[in-house]
């Protein structure tokens, strides 16, 4: 894409298709579940974050690394990051900070957390749901998460810094 220049037809088509897919996921009429078990950046964020069910594991790493090289958040980052609590989304979007495991759910990027060793069982149980709908899926995901709440109960790693993050990223513009 870069070799053809920023105004090339190839670039426009690539991003048009990527953003169209992200939008279609967000309005899909059937339940969409993203099981995120590894590195999730760029397009991986786009095909997971816009769905109603996003399951992270202890192996999941999420970030918007494009900001570290001067690009703006893509794949809808300007839509979903500001919806995070306080100014956390602005912090993540402007710094490219990586989040791992349970922190992804604590930040609001994942809806559920399930240990990776139980993903296969979760997948099998999801397949077995008759007349699957959002309520049944939500119930099953919550049931899986509930099993591990005592084992995975660490505090959000950014909790001690939330006050400073909210203050530092509270301006009306980046320049301020």
With respect to residue 146, please indicate whether it lies within any of the assigned structural domains: yes
Supply the pLDDT for residue 73.
80
With respect to residue 175, please indicate whether it lies within any of the assigned structural domains: no
With respect to residue 174, please indicate whether it lies within any of the assigned structural domains: no
With respect to residue 30, please indicate whether it lies within any of the assigned structural domains: yes
Supply the pLDDT for residue 3.
59
Distance, CA of 38 to CA of 163 (rounded, Å): 29
Supply the pLDDT for residue 7.
67
Distances (CA, A) of 125 to 51, 83, 121, 136, 164: 19, 31, 6, 11, 42
CATH code (residue 123): 3.90.226.10
Calculate the dihedral angle through the C-alpha atoms of 92, 97, 102, 105, rounding to the nearest 10 degrees: 20
With respect to residue 36, please indicate whether it lies within any of the assigned structural domains: yes
Note down pLDDT in tens along the chain; length 176 residues.
455 566 688 888 888 999 999 999 999 999 999 999 999 998 899 999 999 999 999 999 999 888 888 887 888 888 899 999 999 999 999 999 999 999 999 999 999 999 999 999 999 999 999 999 999 999 999 999 998 888 888 899 999 999 999 999 998 888 88
With respect to residue 158, please indicate whether it lies within any of the assigned structural domains: yes
Q: From the CB of residue 127, how many other CB atoms can be counted at a distance below 10 Å? A: 8
End-to-end CA distance of the chain: 33
SS3 157: coil
**What domain range includes position 143?**
2-168
With respect to residue 153, please indicate whether it lies within any of the assigned structural domains: yes
With respect to residue 23, please indicate whether it lies within any of the assigned structural domains: yes
Supply the pLDDT for residue 14.
85
Number of domain units in the chain: 1
Supply the pLDDT for residue 2.
53
- Residue pair 44/25 in contact by the 8 Å Cβ criterion: no
């Amino acid at each position: 894409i870069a070799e053809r220049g920023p105004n090339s037809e190839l670039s426009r088509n690539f991003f048009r298709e990527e953003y169209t897919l992200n939008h279609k996921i967000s309005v899909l009429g059937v339940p969409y579940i993203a099981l995120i078990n590894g590195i999730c950046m760029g397009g991986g964020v786009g095909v997971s974050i816009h769905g109603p069910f996003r399951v992270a594991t202890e192996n999941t790493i999420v970030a918007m690394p494009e900001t570290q090289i001067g690009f703006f958040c893509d794949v809808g980052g300007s839509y979903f990051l500001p919806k995070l609590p306080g100014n956390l989304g602005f912090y993540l979007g402007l710094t490219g900070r990586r989040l791992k495991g349970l922190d992804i759910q604590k930040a609001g990027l994942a809806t559920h957390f399930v240990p990776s060793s139980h993903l296969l069982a979760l997948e099998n149980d999801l397949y077995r749901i008759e007349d699957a709908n959002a309520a049944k899926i939500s119930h099953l995901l919550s049931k899986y998460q509930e099993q591990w709440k005592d084992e995975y109960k660490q505090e959000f790693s950014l909790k001690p810094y939330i006050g400073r993050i909210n203050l530092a990223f509270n301006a009306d513009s980046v320049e301020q």
